[in-house]
Amino acid sequence: MALVLALPLSFSPFAAMHGPDAAELVEQSRCAVRARIVERTDHETGAAAGVRARAEVGETLWGECPASFVFFYARSACGDRLEGEDLVIGLTQPDAAQRAYLDLAADDYLLAGALPASDALCVSLRVLRGAPGRDALLGLLDAGAHPDARVRRQAFRQLSRELAPHPEAEALAPLVPLAENEEDGELAAEYITLFGEARYAPAASFVTRRLRAAGDDAATEGAVRAFPKLATPRAVQELAAAYDDATLDVKVRILHAAAPCAAPEAHALLARALMVEETAVHALAAMRAAGLTLPAALPRVRDPVRAQRMRAVISAPPARPHAPRAAPAAPDR
């Protein structure tokens, strides 16, 4: 019987133990098992309070693991991922420094990761662990075939490393339809970041739709940052055309996405927003964030709260050096 420790997040080798993802299981574990927790007891050891549990192995996914083991995990490190009776648990052996720091016995293990188990998850984890090729990873990114977002996020993580540092257009092309069907906001944001960094213009329509979507998540925020990097004149025109019928929060996003663009439609959109009291402050903020020089004739704002916000925007330092292009003039109202 072996003792397995899950270290708190502050211990740097295990800082990745945050969020219900498969990365630590696939990439950090020496062995992984599907195990049943048969006993849990509140326990304190050293500076970390948590739970001491005993598990029995039902299936080994990879590597060699003991058939039964007792392990301690800090709640701050693992959260609720060790709740339930059916788990996938990854283990690794501590190095000499870790063993000395934690005063571990020779056969003690460290917890590399844990997830609630399912048959489909176990199959997918084996594929991910087996260094799959590009086609296999693309298959794992299909949300219809693989509804577990944890699997898709890990497949994207591994594919991104394979494509780095300079993804080719032919490698990015099959990702666009996968991104369009992706419902997980976190993964959609990763797609958007990849397209933006690669300046992959064929993804502009997808990024624009995410930018205009209702709600506020990582994908919509990422779309605002990515849009200027891959926007074509047509994409800017489509974004400007959607402005009038958009809600205020979407209008604000559109302004921030359009401000860094050199297209005339982007400057025309900012000028229109400056004419309306409801959006004038947001237009100025977008210009300031893009490094544009604010117009000499500032819009007139009657509402005292908006006027105060405008003064704050004007007095704030620019986010980056001024862009070498003219800002739209504010209308004289």
Residue 197 lies in a domain: yes
What's the farthest any 2 CA atoms get from each other in the chain? 80
Residue 73 lies in a domain: yes
Residues 153 and 176 reside in one and the same domain: yes
Residue 298 lies in a domain: yes
Residues 39 and 100 reside in one and the same domain: yes
Residue 216 lies in a domain: no
Find all residues with CB under 8 Å of 330, minimum gap 6, and list them. 271, 274, 275, 280, 295, 297, 298, 299
Residues 136 and 101 reside in one and the same domain: no
Interval 187-228: pLDDT, tens: 999 999 999 999 999 999 999 999 999 888 999 999 999 999
Low-confidence ranges of the chain (pLDDT < 70): 1-20, 43-51, 74-81, 102-105, 319-333
Residues 85 and 161 reside in one and the same domain: no
Residue 207 lies in a domain: no
Residue 113 lies in a domain: yes
How many of the other CB atoms lie within 10 Å of CB of 322? Answer: 12
How many of the other CB atoms lie within 10 Å of CB of 193? Answer: 18
How far is it, in rounded angstroms, from Cα 94 to Cα 80?
23
For the chain, the distance separating the N- and C-terminal CA atoms, rounded to the nearest angstrom, is 80
Residues 237, 265 contacting (CB under 8 angstroms): yes
Residue 226 lies in a domain: no
Strand, helix or coil for residue 57: strand
How far is it, in rounded angstroms, from Cα 251 to Cα 134?
38
The tally of domains found in the chain comes to 3
Find all residues with CB under 8 Å of 259, minimum gap 6, and list them. 228, 266, 270, 286, 287, 289, 290, 292
Domain boundary, last residue among 117, 148, 178? 117
Residues 12 and 80 reside in one and the same domain: yes
Residues 9, 57 contacting (CB under 8 angstroms): no
Range of the domain at 267: 231-333
pLDDT at 172: 97
Residues 318, 284 contacting (CB under 8 angstroms): no
Residue 210 lies in a domain: no
Interval 287-299: pLDDT, tens: 999 999 888 888 8
Residues 10 and 59 reside in one and the same domain: yes
